[in-house]
Structure 1
């Protein structure tokens, strides 16, 4: 099959590839600003049909009870997508603007491979747990716990890591026995729609089990939060939108999983190798132009070494210029859209207004007259109360902040509405562990440690969300527990 659509990618509803009732909308390459194709534009009626199909598939078929079928379908999907990896890679780089090197990891191949982990869980999970006998009220009973699928999942995903986030939702949800309606971001519809094409043409997923609805209208996705036929909403995106999802879901008391924003701290202790730490901090914040919720965007360094940290970080960032994402050496590609570029630039202007100093970057690359590029930017001269230190920017912008010892570094890291991720660099294990224990985040790296993997649950504290994605904990988000007792 040829994955590149000539005109538009269809919706996947009830096992069929169908056009959107709203026609099509343009897909723009963020590196060139050119229209590279069109996607199917769904309406509220299309979403209604998709929800109905998912509800029917859950209520009237054996999908939720046939663990072997679910595992087989997920492995079919994994293998089919890997067979199309080169075509998908080209499309992903063009649509997302991500550096090509990332498609060999979390932007494509990693998430596809992870589908196998969830297929394994479908087979290995202890669907029934024997609790033995007890005599409540003098009556002897045998008890057991049964794990059952929650039901219909409404999955709403963003544009920054579309494959990773799409598969982190549909993989465990399908493995658990749920049926799914996926609404991807309008900036990156192909990444989801072309998966729908593979599902329809190269797998044995029964009709209605997985539905994929692309639309330029965010209100179409919002239907998933309010529709009573949907049992759980799994949302990744901004904290502001997450609050709206939660409020809408409250009306029908459906379960909600939220993976939201972050303003994570990169803490450097005074016994760390400053050069290595600063180089890693620079690399992290420019990767994919800083468009990642778990990226560390506050560099918290010892006050006595502040000047040296600024120089080391600035030198590293200067060597990581924004560039064409198709170049194998590119780390920092474009931002996703003109709107996002204006948002990032507004924060850079705000930093100067608040009294900050732009040490490196701060503008658009001089050699780029097309594409939504912003230079990797280092800001100094502000404390942690500044808006650019408190609010998620979602661009290649790093704020360096001085700390006065380990306790102060922990305080600064926790002085944030968010609690998603973090990093600590040092040599003394006792001090490192004190920081790891003290910082209230869902993930922490030590000296460059990478926590991302299929078996590691991901999520945050505070305004960074509710629940966990990936791993066994993420799989269990899509399960209900039923207690069963019989007299003996």
Structure 2
């Protein structure tokens, strides 16, 4: 597929102005499918981040953003229009810098979030329950009482590289709709979609200076300034569990509030009454975008009574997954985002082999792709759920097939994980599938292929998969403070 040419934005957005880094430095943005340098972006410094934090704090404390709801809605609608006007350039840019298969940009990578990530929160500004009355109190004379929701303040938003635009707009929508200001720190692997958004804000909206700041940097410690600075009231982070724990630890000194959407090791439970021929081809979705998705169902749980049948089908499915050039509409699995990520995935594969899992498809770098950070779609069977392959997030196109005895055993295995982000249950009986889904300790779960995604749908996880929810009413409330008022009746 021929994608349109696009002009990237190399500058940062700080206090309403598009600027170079304070020391003039830049870093390369590299195409993971070709290993070619696409271009440069300003390499933000700690001084740049401090300026951005100061701007966000002033815009919240001194401006009208926190109080003028109609103005906020108008600005979000302006940003929506601006993004839609550059949809195709953004599509091409995402394929180039994230290595995402272009087909995925017509779904969760671009078009799905563009449809409602800003529009739904904007509409909810008028519908959200900003204040509710409580019954009169009578402890020391009759008193009127009310509960009021207010914006938190200045937010630090840290975004990963796997679905960068999707995560960014699903943070910005609720953060801004609720009246907060924000400093956005994109991942260094995928900075351009964020700096493009910064340019659109500066040139095509009335969003006041300092309300949104975008600071790209190759130095992860620049982003850590958000966690350390007491002027930031909350960190909204999507990424690895290891980094999420560090954010909690570093933010403890200022009692920083956090929203953390972290890793996953989701289970796909296929019941013994399921139509294997219809259901199991869907397991290949776990290799979508080279397996670089936190909610992907990478543990496939098959009943022992039909295990050999299931393995045979899955072997054909994974062997037939189209992978390679992300600009090809037929590609499901593109490159890993970096050489470092490719090597991490390969290390997981090598360890699984050493631990005794049976490799039946893939297992390494494809010989015919001499450029780009690719890993073959890979299938392991006879996996022990206590192994590293089953317990650790690989974040690559690697599926682990695990046998189970009965429904109770399937639930036990699914819940025997440090994570609890998502999953799926498949059965000829919807009632049975719903019953099992209710026993799985995850923040989201699909039943017989049902999709829960949307700006109105609260997404997040249990245990090591995070704290809080993104999107939905719960996601709006994540970015508010609660004030209780009482006054004489």
The interval holding the TM-score normalised by the smaller chain is: over 0.9
Matched, 1:249 2:246: no
| Runs of at least 5 residues in structure 1 that lack an aligned partner in the other structure | none
- Provide the C-alpha distance between the structure 1 equivalents of 2:131 and 2:347, rounded to a whole number of angstroms: 54
Q: Any conservation in 2 of the 1:145–1:482 contact (CA below 8 Å)? A: yes
Q: Which moved more, 1:109-118 or 1:353-362?
A: 109-118
- Cα offset, 1:122, TM superposition: 1.4
Alignment-derived partner of residue 27 in structure 1: 29
2:426/2:447 contact within 8 Å kept? yes
Displacement of 1:275 in angstroms is 1.8
User: Which of 4, 9, 14 pairs up with 2:7?
Assistant: 4
Instruction: Give the stretch that moved more between structures: 320-329 or 290-299.
Output: 320-329
Question: In 2, are the aligned partners of 1:321 and 1:375 still within 8 Å (CA)?
Answer: no
**Alpha-carbon distance between aligned partners in 2 of 1:272 and 1:336, rounded to the nearest angstrom:** 35
Any idea what SS the aligned residue of 1:442 has? coil
Structure 2: gaps spanning 5 or more residues: none
User: What is the TM-score with the length of structure 2 in the denominator?
Assistant: 0.97
In 1, Cα distance between equivalents of 2:177 and 2:248:
24
Equivalent in 265, 268, 292 of residue 266 of structure 1: 268
Partner residue of 2:136 out of 133, 138, 143: 133
Q: Provide Cα deviations, 1:466-487, integer angstroms capped at 9, x if missing partner.
A: 0000111111100011111110
2:101 aligned to 99, 102, 121, which one?
99
CA distance in 2: counterparts of 1:106 and 1:40, whole angstroms: 28
**Residue 127 of structure 1: how far off its partner (Å):** 1.4
Q: Which moved more, 1:326-335 or 1:359-368?
A: 359-368
Q: What are the superposed Cα offsets for residues 299-358 of structure 1, whole Å, 9 maximum, x if unpaired? A: 000012111111101111122132211111111111101110011111111111001111
| Cα distance in 1, alignment partners of residues 296 and 360 from structure 2 | 20
Partner of 2:195: 193
**Structure 2: how far apart are the matches of 1:93 and 1:205?**
28
SS in 1 for 2:150: strand
The structure 1 residue matched to 2:124, chosen from 121, 124, 135, is 121
The 5 Å alignment of 1:309-328 reads 309-328=310-329
Among 139, 154, 157, the alignment partner of 2:156 is 154
Q: Is the 1:322–1:374 Cα contact (8 Å) retained in structure 2?
A: no
| Alpha-carbon shift at residue 62 of structure 1 (Å) | 1.4
Q: Which of 235, 238, 244 is equivalent to 2:237?
A: 235
Q: Which residue of 1 aligns with 2:472?
A: 471
Residue 212 of structure 2 is aligned to residue 207 of structure 1: no
Cross-structure match for 1:409: 410
SS at match of 2:483: strand
Report the number of matched residues. Answer: 483
Question: Residue 358 in 1 paired to residue 359 in 2?
Answer: yes
* Aligned pairs for 1:34-49 within 5 A: 34-49=36-51
Contact 2:357–2:384 (CA under 8 A) maintained in structure 1: no
Matched residue, 1:387 = 388
Report the Cα offset of residue 447 of structure 1: 1.1
1:225 is displaced (CA, Å) by: 0.8
User: Aligned runs of 1:420-439 on 2, under 5 Å?
Assistant: 420-439=421-440
Secondary structure class of the residue paired with 1:167 = helix
The answer (yes or no) to whether the contact 2:434–2:447 under 8 Å persists in 1 is: no
Could you tell me how far apart the structure 1 residues matched to 2:433 and 2:112 are? Answer: 29
Task: Give the whole-Å Cα distance in 2 for the aligned partners of 1:208 and 1:132.
Answer: 40
- Superposed CA offset, 1:174-210 (max 9, x none): 0000000000100000010110010000111000000
Q: Determine helix, strand or coil for the equivalent of 1:383.
A: coil
CA contact (8 A) 1:82 1:109 kept: no
Q: CA deviation at 1:382?
A: 2.0
Mapped contact 1:127–1:147 kept (Cα < 8 A): yes
Q: Counterparts of 2:204 and 2:154 in 1: how far apart (Å)? A: 23
Between the aligned partners of 2:308 and 2:63, the Cα distance in structure 1 is 65
Partner of 2:376: 375
Moved over 3 A (4+): none
